[in-house]
Structure 1
Amino acid sequence: MAFLRFVKYIPQTTCLYVFWVSFVMGGCGTEGGIQKVYTFPKSEWHIANGLLFECQVSDTKPSYDIIISVDYTATYPYQNLYIKYDLEGAETSESGVVALQLFDRKRGWPLGSGWGACKRYQLCLLSGYNFKKTAAYTVQLVHAMRQDTLAGIVRIVLSIKPHAKTNKRSSLV
């Protein structure tokens, strides 16, 4: 009987293991980049809970990639996730809406990487972006779905990394 109770918790522990491994692996390769993580309690993202990520850019010479990662489970009720983003800072204002296809259209299988119940889908919001001044910048993310509360969204990770074709010795805080 105890084994059956353990099996009930395998997806959650597998999910935690995948996140731990991805955190450790992701932390090793940031080289001058930053990574901000927001974990949703109860794996629910309410539309009123807009996410605000702040960073300090101290080197404007290299270009940067601004990347979003969404960790989700099969309880997410839709195929796509639409996210509005706003980048604000010194003489900078960029905004847009991105569509993340989380599930296969034909078969309904979850897309992205990861094992078990949790998957991670990654998308580059802005590639090769040049910040105009050394200053504090904010990125705000809000989901743009019809339903106010989205089940199955576990975590959002925002990464700002030096663009692959530029000097990797940059300064982000």
Structure 2
Amino acid sequence: MIKYILQLLIVIPFLVSCDNSRVYEVNNELSGRQWLADSTQSFTFSIPDTSQKYNVYYNLRNSVSYPFRNIYVKYSLTDSTGEMLEGKLDNANLFDAKSGKPLGDGLGDVFDHQFPLLKNYGFPAPGQYRLEVSQYMRRDTLPEIVAVGVRVEKATATN
């Protein structure tokens, strides 16, 4: 327990530091470090400026005990009327295929990953959007996935 508190104390300053490009970022902790197949993670965010392009990412946090080297994630982006604008299946590597070493940024036995979904994306209208993310593995219960999140940021020439 103390190990996790120390991890939080180290990570929190980075999370609250200034980030002018971030429009939205939320990470949902998963109960029992498991992601159930029927537990779609839903994130609702506002886009005020359609002249601006945006980058959309999904975040994953897993432990080194995660039993696979990759994860299949399905996502869908819908507008405020419920119309699906984007959607696909993504295969994300969490561990190196040859060495088995964890990828991402690690602290202790937990590693954070940020995977791009949409780069330089132009939203069609200002308003509310919903991004739903679900695991699409061959297991109903996927162990050692600690958190799932979404980040939306203003696209710039450097990102």
* TM-score, length basis structure 2: 0.88
| Identical pairs, percent | 27
Task: After TM superposition, list the pairs within 5 Å mapping 1:84-123 onto structure 2.
Answer: 84-89=74-79, 93-123=85-115
CA contact (8 A) 1:18 1:115 kept: no
* C-alpha displacement of 1:45: 0.7
* C-alpha displacement of 1:134: 1.0
* C-alpha displacement of 1:71: 0.9
Provide Cα deviations, 1:122-151, integer angstroms capped at 9, x if missing partner.
Answer: 111100000001121100001010011111
* TM-score, length basis structure 1: 0.81
Structure-2 residue corresponding to 1:41:
31
* C-alpha displacement of 1:12: 3.4
Aligned: 1:67 with 2:64: no
Name which one, 1 or 2, has greater alpha-carbon Rg.
Answer: 1
Higher strand share: 2
The 2-side partners of 1:17 and 1:47 are apart by: 31
- How much is the aligned-residue C-alpha RMSD, in angstroms? 2.0
The one-letter code matched in structure 1 to 2:53 is: S
* C-alpha displacement of 1:154: 0.8
4+ residue segments displaced more than 3 Å: 9-19
Structure-1 residue corresponding to 2:19:
29
Higher helix share: 1
Aligned residues: 156
